[in-house]
Structure 1
Amino acid sequence: MNSAPAPLSKSLFGAGLLAALAASLCCITPLLAVVGGLGGAASSFAWLEPYRLYLVALTVAVLGFAWYRQLHPAPTADCCVVSEKRPLMQTTAFLGAVTVLAALLLAFPYYGATLYPTAKPSAPAVAANEAAPVWQTTAYRISGMTCEACARHVESAVQQVPGVQTVAVSYDQATARVRFNAAHAQAAQVESAINRTGYHVQNPTR
């Protein structure tokens, strides 16, 4: 008989992947919100951010134990047992694939922002009989952002506001600096666009 218990292997693989997913879920949901148009769902898992280091440690511990079991299987009681072909989920190749997937999930906050579409500055055309643009720059303090992917989500949303020319969002400083044509947009419109992403504007300042 095979000495490696399949149920425990499945539990270890599942626990490792779930912990890795939970560790990066606060940064994955903003991208899903942009792709799927989920709007306010982007910050739904921001509460997980304070536990990220613990979840990373749990992922490493669980997968480390799984590798230990894989490389040091328990000895069999029967010396004459005939070796059998292992099920796929008990193979080293499958554990390697699970480990790679977990590593990609854990690293998502560091590369997730590159998956967003590039926001292009817009300069609304001015008609011949229209007054020259009245450019206004407003800084917003934003709560709830936990990684660069969150900042890119906010940038993408604000760029959709007519009259906005440039947007610069910093998640580590929790700020957004927006330059817009006051003849086409108002600070309140920009604030509303930010709030619709699921993050929340505190006191905007000029």
Structure 2
Amino acid sequence: MNQPAFTSSKSLASTGVLAALAASLCCITPLLAILGGLGGVASTFSWLEPLRPYLVALTVGVLSFAWYQQLKPAPVADDDCGCPVPAKPSLMQSRGFLASVTVLAGLLLTFPYYSARFYPSAALKPVTATNTAPVWQTSSYRIGGMTCEACARHVEHDVQQLPGVQSVRVSYDQGTAQVRYNAAVTPVAQIEKAINGTGYSVLNPSR
């Protein structure tokens, strides 16, 4: 008799995890892009960012209802002798499974707040000796499409790989980037190409 309740709880748990994943997918994708070497896909799910508050609310709502379903007294069935026999849920219908799902959803929802820890910090690169005198310049850019700190760390990571780039500082809050580079080694167009190659876009390209 209580099978529908167990099934409902299982479905709610699945919905909660999917909603939590969707809420943080815009910040998970940049990290996966670096690990897989697919920079252009980093901003694929940035369109989900405006929906994040609603997805968070959906996650909290469905998991709260799932716990309500799980904790309320379960109906019992009678056996052949008329004795009450409580129904036993399967593993995926148990409180332990729902607790694991809740923890997973929590980690997914909070991923944007700790995602930057997975990226190496941008540090000054040693100056490589060349036959020509270095021409140090600092360029500032406005970058569109970033939705969290993971996006900023992704841009820093890719631009830092360019030869001649000494330092990169990207601010997600301000949507800006500052790059110090040797113009004799790396032209500004190459820096802008690297930023655009991450899937985000330079809003003030050089002419």
Deviation digits for residues 160-185 of structure 1, max 9, x if unmatched?
A: 11100000000111111000001101
- Structure 1 counterpart of 2:199: 198
Structure 1 length-normalised TM: 0.92
- Comparing 13-22 with 75-84, greater Cα deviation is found at 75-84
Change (3 A) 1:73 1:90: farther
SS state at 2:110 partner: helix
- Name the aligned partner's letter for residue 84 of structure 2: V
Match of 2:124 among 107, 118, 121: 121
Provide the C-alpha distance between the structure 2 equivalents of 1:86 and 1:10, rounded to a whole number of angstroms: 11
**Residue in structure 2 matched with residue 138 of structure 1 by the alignment:** 139
Fraction of identical pairs, as percent: 66
| 1:167-205, Cα deviation, whole Å (9 max, x unpaired) | 000011111100000110111100000000000101147
- SS in structure 2 opposite 1:58? helix
Q: CA deviation at 1:3?
A: 5.1
1:49 maps to 2:49: yes
What is the TM-score normalised by the length of structure 2? 0.92
Whole-angstrom CA distance in 2 between matches of 1:141 and 1:153 = 15
Counterpart of 2:89 (choices 79, 86, 91) is 86
Shift of 1:137: 0.2
Q: Report deviation, 1:85.
A: 3.2
* 1:131 CA displacement: 3.1
- Give the Cα–Cα distance (whole angstroms) in 2 for the partners of residues 192 and 17 of structure 1: 36
SS in 1 for 2:123: coil
Q: Is the 8 A contact 1:123 1:163 kept in 2?
A: no
CA–CA distance in structure 2, aligned partners of residues 64 and 95 of structure 1: 11
Which residue in 1 is equivalent to 2:102? 99
The number of equivalent residue pairs is: 203
The one-character-per-residue Cα deviations of 1:117-142 (angstroms, maximum 9, x if unpaired) are: 33332233224xx2331100000110
Measure the CA separation in 2 of the matches of 1:196 and 1:118. Answer: 20
Alignment-derived partner of residue 36 in structure 2: 36
1:61-107 deviation digits (Å, cap 9, x = unpaired) = 00000000111145346473312432001111111000000000000
Contact residue 142 and residue 202 of structure 1 kept, 8 A: yes
Stretches (4+) displaced over 4 A:
1-4
User: What CA distance in whole angstroms lies between the structure 2 residues aligned with 1:102 and 1:153?
Assistant: 24
Shift of 1:8: 1.6
Instruction: Specify every segment of 5 or more residues in structure 1 that has no aligned partner in the other structure, as ranges.
Output: none
Q: Which residue of 1 aligns with 2:115?
A: 112
| In structure 2, C-alpha distance between the alignment counterparts of 1:124 and 1:6, rounded to whole Å | 63
2:75/2:86 contact within 8 Å kept: no
Separation in 2, partners of 1:73, 1:38: 50
Query: Aligned-pair RMSD on alpha carbons?
Result: 1.7
SS at match of 2:86: coil
Q: Letter of the aligned partner of 2:124 in structure 1?
A: P
Please say if residues 17 and 98 of structure 1, whose CA atoms lie closer than 8 Å, have aligned partners that are also in contact: yes
